[in-house]
Structure 1
Amino acid sequence: MLKEFKNFIMTGNVIDLAVAVILAGAVGLVVKGFVADIMMPIIGHFSGGINFADMKVILDEAVVTADGIISQPENAIMYGNWVNAIINLIIVGSILFLIVKVYNKSKAPVVTAPAAPAGPTAEELLTEIRDSLKK
């Protein structure tokens, strides 16, 4: 059983999948950094300086004691993070679309071989045989 497991793990497909998962994690961090650190400040600038991460609906205010200690934190719906996630999805989807489109254009078109000329039909062959037998 251990030998079978070793053979399974060492097949090319499993190794390829492991590399793809690790690479996807690294690409995910790069994309997250690009969106958070480059795109969101630009979008915030053009939307009037709005920081979407700070957008929220406060359900219950924080309770602060007289000496300044927060005894109960605020309860809020942080919908700004959700807006950031939607913008992230749109940006990543657009970039992936462009990558796939360029990849598909770069692939060599599949050239199909021309169809072989049609040979004589069975009826024509039988007619030829009949005629040769008559001779």
Structure 2
Amino acid sequence: MLKEFKEFAVKGNVIDLAVGVVIGGAFGKIVTSMVNDIIMPIVGALTGGVNFTYLKFVIRGASGDIPAVTLNYGNFIQNVVDFLIVSFSIFMFINLINKIKREKRAEEKKEEEVKEREEVTLLQEIRDLLKNK
């Protein structure tokens, strides 16, 4: 069982996944900071100073020791904005990586075509030399 666990733990996919999770966590913190510290203050300024996080609808007010029951839709709006920005950022990053891969494949294909043409030319020259003998 220990041997199987070692094989599993050192597989490339597991290590790649671990690295992805760590980088994703750090990326999430960056995006959350961007939303909370840059985007939402601008949106708040455009909407007259509204802070979405604290928007709520009171279903039942507080009475005595019983706290108020509220529907915190502002926090939901904040989380939706976070999600949209994170997903768009990831989309743009993946799109960039795919573009780089496509360009690399096109470059490799051109190099392969050049090599094939050189081989054909070389073979034609050899054929011509053999005909002339």
TM-score of the pair, normalised by structure 1: 0.70
Q: Number of residue pairs matched?
A: 109
Question: Equivalents in 2 of 1:51, 1:38: separation in Å?
Answer: 13
What corresponds to 2:51 in structure 1? 51
Which is higher, the Rg of structure 1 or of structure 2?
A: 1
Identity of aligned residues (%): 39
Aligned to 1:83: 77
CA–CA distance in structure 2, aligned partners of residues 79 and 56 of structure 1: 6
Query: What's the counterpart of residue 101 of structure 1?
Result: 95
Taking the TM superposition and a 5 Å limit, the aligned residue runs for 1:108-123 are 108-110=104-106, 111=109
Q: Which amino acid letter does the alignment assign opposite residue 9 of structure 1?
A: A
- The Cα offsets for residues 12-48 of structure 1, whole Å up to 9 and x where unpaired, read as 2111111111221121122112111211111111111
After superposition, residues 10-29 of structure 1 pair within 5 angstroms as: 10-29=10-29
Instruction: Describe the superposition over 1:84-107 as per-residue Cα deviations: whole angstroms up to 9, x where unpaired.
Output: 112122222332333233333333
Q: Distance in 1 between matches of 2:87 and 2:19?
A: 22
Structure 2 partner of 1:60: 60
- Is there any run of 5+ residues in structure 1 with no aligned partner, and where? 65-70, 117-135
**1-structure distance, mates of 2:3, 2:96:** 43
Over 3 Å counting, the alpha-carbon distance change for 1:35 and 1:9 in structure 2 is same
**Inter-partner Cα distance in structure 2 for 1:93 and 1:103:** 15
RMSD: 2.0
The whole-number CA distance in structure 2 between the counterparts of 1:82 and 1:103 is 31
CA offsets 1:104-133 (integer angstroms, 9 cap, x no match):
33332432656x8xxxxxxxxxxxxxxxxx
CA distance in 1, matches of 2:15, 2:51: 42
- Structure 2: gaps spanning 5 or more residues: 117-133
Q: Please identify which structure carries the higher helix content.
A: 2
